[in-house]
Amino acid sequence: MNSSIALKRLVFAVAVLLVFALSTANAAVPIPAPPKIAAKNFILVDAQSGRLLAEKEADEQVEPASITKMMTAYVIYREIAAGRLNMDDMVNISEKAWRMGGSRMYVEVDSQVSVHDLMKGLIVQSGNDATVALAEHVAGTERAFVDLMNQYASSMGMSNTYYMNSTGWPEEGHLTSARDIATLAVAIINEFPEHYAWYKEKVYTYNNIKQYNRNKLLWRDDSVDGIKTGHTESAGYCLVASALRSDMRLISVVLGTDSEKERASVSQSLLNYGFRFFETHRLYAAGEVLNRSRVWKGESDKVSLGLKDDLYITIPRGSYNDLEAVMDVDANIVAPLEKGSQHGAVRVTLADDEVLNAPLVALEAVGEGSFFQVAKDHILQLFN
């Protein structure tokens, strides 16, 4: 074959491959159905956008077992944030706490243990004794502490949740759902990132007894950094897992599997599915000025509009360049304006389908203008 002809064919073939590569580089990856896993209930969500990626009977009320301790920890974090509790506070260990069965930290009756150590025992070792000791220290009795747990659950919209104790010990009426657990997980991660780091600790030694975190994914997958396991005969084997890969955080809740091995493997399957076929982006930052709009009858004739919270979106992988965002700004904005008042919306579409709608709010207050300014703008508005 003539060498020049062979060279031309090679150049043509390379060109075809380049065109194909460029045309498919940003193409969305086809999304298969979520994996079918051996769990009675499950849910997979993005922690930042809140996007639901997979679910099965996610609103069915079920026993949470030791996953209950996530809410116990959340209440403790709120007490610390409010200044009513410190990590170095010492806690008296009651006989009730000492006698708790199941998973234990092995604290000794009538001893004093710091909140710091008890929280490690609750999170890493799932200690029922540590959990009851903390509940009694915060609220006087475990029952009073449970009232706090239920109040926080209600305030977060966990409508399928009602707690009867702080540990997850089987008790009639002690129920939650996979969706509610995911809501709680997002709150723990987003509201208390400084405390969340403890959930990835694999080992904790107290009283010369070394115990290992029961979340097996901490050893299998470096991106997994929490959160909580649970098991009773009636609840089965449960796992709430969270993983962070390339600034995308997913949360899976798996309930009612048959073994420790199975709860880990099915959780891994859900997480891998989410990361493989979806991507999450922050579109706009909280407080970022997205629009400067005309204000009538105000001490200022302009107001900055933006978003109250960061705006995240989870979309099929490869479809980012197909997103379109438009701002619908109120045509007639009249002072006085309060900071945070809504004056429009940001709408995001993908393939002509609206996937997000977030309120545009005033980023600063605008007071009413002088008599002269109000009168002048009134006349101008009549002409407009």
273 and 292 together in one domain? no
Residue 309 CA to its chain's centroid (Å): 14
Q: Is the peptide bond before 251 cis (omega within 30 degrees of 0)?
A: no
Residue 370, phi then psi, degrees to nearest 5:
-70, 170
Which portions of the chain are predicted below pLDDT 70?
A: 1-29, 374, 377
- CATH number for the domain including 248? 3.40.710.10
Question: Could you tell me if residue 241 is inside a domain?
Answer: yes
Domain containing 213 equals: 41-278
- CATH number at 337 reads 2.60.410.10
Catalytic residue among 49, 94, 103, 126: 126
Model confidence over 260-299: pLDDT tens digits? 999 999 999 999 999 999 999 999 999 999 999 999 888 9
How do strand 224-232 and strand 236-245 relate by DSSP bridges? antiparallel
Same domain, 330 and 210: no
Tell me if 17 is assigned to some domain.
no
Q: Which of these is catalytic: 49, 69, 103, 120? A: 69
- pLDDT value at position 370? 86
Residue 30 inside a domain? The answer is: no
Task: Quickly list DSSP for 61-114.
Answer: -B--GGGGHHHHHHHHHHHHHTTS--TT-EEE--HHHHH--SS-----TT-EEE
Question: Quick check: is 155 catalytic?
Answer: no
- The number of distinct structural domains making up the chain is 2
- Please give the distance of CA 105 from its chain centroid, rounded to a whole number: 28
Of 254, 278, 302, the last residue of a domain is: 278
Of 49, 66, 166, 267, which one is the catalytic site residue? 66
- Where among 261, 278, 295 does a domain terminate? 278
* Catalytic residue list contains 69: yes
Per-residue pLDDT tens over the stretch 59-118: 999 999 999 999 999 999 999 999 999 999 999 999 999 999 999 999 999 999 999 999
Judge whether 87 and 115 are in contact, CB under 8 Å: yes
The reply to whether 88 falls in a domain is yes
| Alpha-carbon gap, residue 139 to 142, rounded angstroms | 7
Spatial CA neighbour of 196 closest among 235, 249, 275, 147: 249
Does residue 274 belong to any structural domain of this protein? yes
Tokens standing for residue 66: 């030791």
